[in-house]
Chain A
Amino acid sequence: MTVDFLIDWFAAMGDFPVIAFLLAVIISGIPIFLIMALNAIVAVYVERKVSAFMMDRIGPMGQGPGLHAGKWGLLQTAADAVKLLVKEDTVPETSDKFLFKMAPYIIFIGAFMGMAAVPFSSVLQVADFNVGVFYIIAVGSIGVIGIVMAGWASNNKWSLYGAMRSAAQIISYEIPAGLSIIVPIMMAGTMNLQLLIQSQSGTVWGILPNWIIFNNPFTFIAFFIFFISAVAETNRTPFDIPEAESELVAGWMTEYSGFRWALFFLSEYANMFVVSGLAVAGFLGGWQSPIPGMFDSAGWELFWFMGKLILLIFVMMWFRWTFPRLRVDQLMHVCWKVFIPIAMFNIFGVGIWKLIFG
């Protein structure tokens, strides 16, 4: 269900190209929003359970069908969502009220736009751009504007620290992420996500699926660099210094409450979804089946894509509940002195590999 298809469909009904375009965009926006909301609800629940199991706890158990001590707290996130929606929305007296109110929407828009280009299967993609990879990387950095706005407008020293850290971190980690995602682009020769995924069909060395990660050692390293940079871009542990709980209380989110805070939360999980989706599409064969030639009907495509994506999101959670957090300068050190040189080296390596073997 691409947006182009809808535009064509509406355009065929009458001669109102602008209205057809708007209708198509609005209609295709609804599933994106639903996916975002569903993703947040499921991911928050899973995160709670994963963290609990790793810590020898059992996590939320109360809310759920069957009410008290019911079924594994299945409705916990729904209860949280209701609580956040009815919670008082506080705006600090001394804040810059316009920016303060704007910031959540900007962050949300960034995450929302990224979701539009995620290729769920060969047909399920809202917008199929010819520069899809570039687009996701580009809209992914809109969020930092919102974060800086939120931090500045809150008129709170902790928020300001969080915002400044976040800006430095996200802008720095765009570079290794961008440099690493160049590797699959070089391998496939396209920025179009569908074509990129299609290029990964078949097998390599006879056994492994022909995913870019398995193509050569450089792509293997590039995947890890991209993934870790993606974790950093989504502000998750061990790179959660913008909202470092034990240092900055809640970082740039300190002054937010209620629905505005819920938007931050929604965007955080949507960002996880988008960067994982990009990693899956770029390195892990997107919706391609891990057993080439089998299980590759349309339904299976969605299954494989979501399966890989959930796996990556789980690894992000695994990181979060295992590692301590880095310091600002160490974060920069890791980025500029480890990831960027290796990512650069990877590009050369892949180029030479392509010259020799490709």
Chain B
Amino acid sequence: MGIVQGDQMILNIGPQHPSTHGVLRLEVRTDGEIVSEIKPHLGYLHRCFEKHSENVTYEQVIPFTDRCDYLASMNSNFGYVVAMEELMEIKVPERVDYIRIIMGELNRIASHLLALGVYGLDIGAFTPFLYMFRDRERILDMFELTCGARLLYNYMWVGGVSHDLPKDFEKICIGFLDYFEPQIKEYNNLLTYNKIFIERTADVGVIPADVAVSYGVTGPNLRGSGVKWDVRKDEPYSIYDRFEFDIPVGEGQFGTLGDCFDRYWVRMLEISQSVKILRQALKDIPDGNVHQALPKKIRPPKGSVYRRTESPRGDLGYYIVSDGTPVPYRVKMRSPAFTALSCLDEVSRGWMISDVIAILGSLDIVLGEIDR
């Protein structure tokens, strides 16, 4: 960071701060309210996920993937098991694919709800946060019904899922979706179209498409910049190619393309798309055994695999190297939130401290995934 000159001062935002979304420390050099440089300090939540994975068996890695992106554990599991199945060349039963997609999309809604609610909180609106948490809670209830856990599921296994869906799950889920869709309108009226909210987010923290691509920003953050890239559509994994859904991209309707509002708005639209996928999946889900393809002992052949999936935060990639033993030789996780955070310095230079909070919130980082 160097020597502080003249009127500048260094301000530490975090590690204990209400809106760093975990334990992140931002070393901010400011001139009054204007930010001239940001240096994020990571590692407060480092738990050696990758090294740890080299010492446990393949199935024991799954609980640790839960703890990386703890707001979208299902999607973290999903990425890992898809990669493992590619490595072991397992074909899972159709029901498993459907269950996984239902769980993944439900968790995407839950994660986006939290991201949007907390974003409102960062901007200063308390009430939408509680409304969104209320609805997220219903999704967690469904997860509890399915696998007993509310946050860290360990639900998806290599070659299957741990439990079949409970008896009335389809009915409960459809009931939730029917309840939930009108709520989106209410969120929009309460927060999204609020003029103060638009003023705070539109034109702020613009990530142009080329900057986003060069920093490797993915997911809703990239789509907010107008790049139509979604792994679910462009490199379909599991059975995502069977479903009909759009990829919402930012339009910059209230300001420049790629501003905080676009990233927020893309998430809001993605919730509706997830609802659409869920409705299709719940309609078509076949019967079957969910443990059929479960390997007795997971001992993949020598080799390696890289598979990326679309987590709510972006491209979640797993690179798994196998040396033929039951313990992975190497597990590397490509964390979408990490790359999103990397562009914070470039994006927020010249903005005010309040805007840094807004930009950080709009990137929707999860420190568990960044620090791993």
B-contacting residues of A (Cβ < 8 Å)? 51, 54-57, 157, 161, 237-238, 240-241, 244-247, 249, 321-330
Residues of A within 8 A of B122 (CB): 246
A328 to chain B, nearest CB (A): 6
- Within B170-207, the residues touching A (CB, 8 Å) are 190-191, 194, 196-197, 199-200
Question: Can you name 7 A-B pairs with beta carbons within 8 Å?
Answer: A161-B33, A244-B124, A246-B18, A246-B124, A246-B357, A324-B120, A327-B354
B11 touches A157 (CB 8 A): yes
A55 touches B200 (CB 8 A): no
Residues of A within 8 A of B126 (CB): 51, 55, 321
B354 touches A244 (CB 8 A): yes
Residues of B within 8 A of A328 (CB): 33, 352, 354
B190 touches A324 (CB 8 A): no
- Within B87-114, the residues touching A (CB, 8 Å) are none
B124 touches A55 (CB 8 A): no
Secondary structure call for the A interface: loop
User: Which residue from A237, A247, A321 sits with its C-beta under 8 Å from B354?
Assistant: A247
B199 to chain A, nearest CB (A): 6
B33 touches A330 (CB 8 A): no
Mark B19-42 against chain A: 1 for CB-CB distance below 8 A, else 0.
Answer: 100000000000001000000000
Name B358's closest neighbour in chain A (CB-CB). A327
Secondary structure call for the B interface: helix
A323 touches B196 (CB 8 A): yes
B23 to chain A, nearest CB (A): 15
Residues of A within 8 A of B17 (CB): 249
A55 touches B127 (CB 8 A): yes
B125 touches A323 (CB 8 A): yes
B352 touches A325 (CB 8 A): no
A246 touches B121 (CB 8 A): yes
Residues of A within 8 A of B354 (CB): 241, 244, 247, 327-328
Give bound CA distance, A55 to B134, whole Å: 10
B181 to chain A, nearest CB (A): 18
Give bound CA distance, A57 to B191, whole Å: 19
Name B13's closest neighbour in chain A (CB-CB). A247
A55 touches B191 (CB 8 A): no
**Besides the contacts A54-B127, A324-B200, A327-B199, what 9 more A-B pairs have beta carbons closer than 8 Å?**
A55-B126, A56-B130, A246-B124, A249-B17, A323-B196, A324-B191, A324-B194, A327-B354, A327-B355
B190 touches A330 (CB 8 A): no
User: Which residue from A56, A157, A323, A329 sits with its C-beta under 8 Å from B124?
Assistant: A323
Residues of B within 8 A of A244 (CB): 124, 354
CB-CB under 8 A for A324 and B197, given A245-B18, A246-B19: yes
B44 at the interface (CB under 8 A from A): no
Give bound CA distance, A249 to B353, whole Å: 12
